[in-house]
Amino acid sequence: MQSQSITSYLKHWERQEDKLRIATPAGANAIHIMTIHQAKGLEFPVVILPFMDTALKPKIKEKLWFPFQEEPLSPIEWGWITASKEMKLYGEIGESLYAQYILSQQLDAYNVLYVALTRAKEQLYIITLEVSSNNTITYSHLFSYFAKQQGKKLEALAPYECGTFEGKKIDKAKQNLVTEVKKIELNQGVSTLWEKRLVAISIPDIKIREAQNKGLLIHEVLSKVVYADSYKKVLDDVFKSKKIKNDNQDFIINKVKDVIEHPMISKYFERNQHVLSEQDVLVPNGVTLRPDRVNLLKDGGAVIIDYKTGDPKEADGFQIDKYAQIYISLNYFPVEKFLVYIGDKINVYHRK
């Protein structure tokens, strides 16, 4: 029998490190290790975001279709080329395509950052590096700029903190169960090979993942439903492309129908309206925004509808307010704002 001590365990680990694997558990009181994409639609009391010094522009060579409009290549019509700065030398079309490509990469980076920063319900910890002097723009630069806007400097020995955490009150009946935890000092070195043994579970919890997938599907359907009389065709197309099982189809159909027939917003799904569905809004000297749905009204006003899952959060209101400010700056007035929360019930909030 192995003696139950930290040192004996580490020695055992060193002997068996080539064979052992660690899978993070999916229990309620466990730490979940997952990618940002896997965490989309989920919430946690505490979230730790490491490696946030990643470049906004990934070093990945992507291909783009380039239209050949001049001789001698015009008979070919299209070329499959690698996206690079050299495209700026290909005339106005090449310069425009490269600009769109860079903008698309930045938009994806900002969307990933938004998802990452909105997973925490109580505490969020961001681990990054100090901003370097090289030309590579990273998430670190965004955090550093934000800290400077608050009159602070982001440094290794001076972390930026904001907000307060009051903590949870401990039930008196459970308080007696709390025992003092003794500090353990380790003198035994640990092999860095443990990093290769750590395996993140791709599906943290089956029920949670199913609920998340349903929410994403509903969101996808709503993004494609311009008018109420077209939702059935959209559902059929999505079900065929995604190969959705029959037992899930009824659930999604009912939720989509409940949204577009909700008395507070049903009139905005009627015909003869100019609808922008998940259209990018380019903000001067700022990020690109993408509201879920915007109705541009004939009287010069606009209606913004944003779909959400989970419980209402203050950040949701700030986000739709930002959308409204942009459309007001474009001379649309008045601007109505609706937050639609899709859960067991459909709750619609008219934000003033």
**Distance from C-alpha of 153 to C-alpha of 159, rounded to nearest angstrom:** 8
Give 91 or 61, the one with higher predicted confidence: 91
Beta bridge partners of 277: 293
Residue 39, pLDDT score: 82
Over 80: is that where the pLDDT of 4 sits? no
- What digits encode the pLDDT tens for the residues 71-122? 777 787 888 888 888 888 888 888 888 888 888 888 888 888 888 999 898 8
Residue 30, pLDDT score: 72
**Distance from C-alpha of 122 to C-alpha of 115, rounded to nearest angstrom:** 15
Residue 164, pLDDT score: 77
State the amino acid at position 69 in one-letter form.
Q
Residue 175, pLDDT score: 53
**Is the backbone peptide bond immediately before 291 cis, with ω within 30 degrees of 0?**
no
- pTM of the entire predicted model: 0.49
Cβ 326 vs Cβ 311: under 8 Å: no
Q: Which segments of 190-313 does DSSP mark as H helices, in order?
A: 194-197, 206-224, 231-242, 246-260
Percent of the chain with pLDDT over 90: 25
Residue 189, pLDDT score: 53
Cβ 302 vs Cβ 175: under 8 Å: no
Over 90: is that where the pLDDT of 260 sits? yes
Look at 182-186, 209-213, 266-270 and tell me which has the smallest mean pLDDT: 182-186
Residue 86, pLDDT score: 85
- Residue 324's pLDDT band (cuts 50, 70, 90): very high
Over 90: is that where the pLDDT of 132 sits? no
**Distance from C-alpha of 103 to C-alpha of 126, rounded to nearest angstrom:** 25
- Residue 48's pLDDT band (cuts 50, 70, 90): very high
Over 80: is that where the pLDDT of 3 sits? no
Residue 21, pLDDT score: 62
**Distance from C-alpha of 222 to C-alpha of 261, rounded to nearest angstrom:** 12
Look at 9-13, 44-48, 238-242 and tell me which has the smallest mean pLDDT: 9-13
The 3-state DSSP class for residue 261 equals coil
- For the chain, give the mean pLDDT: 80
- What digits encode the pLDDT tens for the residues 198-251? 555 444 556 666 777 788 889 889 999 999 999 999 999 888 887 777 777 888
- Residue 54's pLDDT band (cuts 50, 70, 90): confident
Residue 133, pLDDT score: 64
- Residue 1's pLDDT band (cuts 50, 70, 90): very low
- Residue 350's pLDDT band (cuts 50, 70, 90): very high
